[in-house]
Amino acid sequence: METKLLRQIRLLQVCVVVLLASTALLCINLFHPLLQKQRFRVIEAERINIREKSGVLKAALSNSAGFNEFQRAERGGVTFSGLMFYNEEGQEEGGLVYSGKGAPGGQDADVTLTMDQYRQDQNVYLHHEEHKDAQSVRIEDGLSINSRPDWTDIKEEYKIYDEMDSSPRKQKTTCG
């Protein structure tokens, strides 16, 4: 029985030494990293989000499935991929996106660089679009600068109009 107990104590001592060495290496690595920055030749991902330390989304590099969210998902989704930029509130503020595919007798391709007004649509829009098939060719290139009024509360305004239209207080007035 004594030899069994001594063997167990010896095993516990070895475990303690291994755990102490592992803890020491982790503490050293905390202040003086043992591994250099890692480099990759290829990284495969469907979406890469760039966030501030606070967690706010600042940019997203994504395939088309990664951009099918919020309003885009409600409208039936998108086919473009690219890089989207977000403001400090996590709202989309522009991007560099592209799509393209072969079509019978031609191609269908788009690339755009957009910069949005705060909580609005594009203000500056640099684009190239080409749609070509056996019957026709349409190529559009351009720089568009849109000056827009502040439409941030437009949805609320339309809700008020809808409520006014459906209100039971709507009455016909007759002249007598």
Do residue 83 and residue 106 come from a single domain?
yes
- Alpha carbon dihedral 38, 43, 48, 52, in 10-degree steps, equals 10
Mean pLDDT of the chain: 80
Q: What is the per-residue pLDDT for 35? A: 73
Q: What is the per-residue pLDDT for 73? A: 54
Question: Considering the domain boundaries, does residue 42 fall inside one?
Answer: no
Q: What is the per-residue pLDDT for 81? A: 83
Q: What is the per-residue pLDDT for 172? A: 47
Per-residue model confidence as pLDDT tens digits over 73-110: 566 667 788 888 888 887 888 888 888 888 888 888 88
Do residue 72 and residue 118 come from a single domain?
yes
Confidence of residue 21 (pLDDT cuts 50, 70, 90): very high
Q: What is the per-residue pLDDT for 173? A: 45
Beta-bridged to residue 138, according to DSSP, are 131
Quick one: tokens of 172? 């016909």
Do residue 145 and residue 59 come from a single domain?
yes
Question: Considering the domain boundaries, does residue 164 fall inside one?
Answer: no
Per-residue model confidence as pLDDT tens digits over 123-173: 788 989 898 887 888 888 898 887 766 666 667 777 787 788 776 655 444
83 lies in which domain range?
47-149
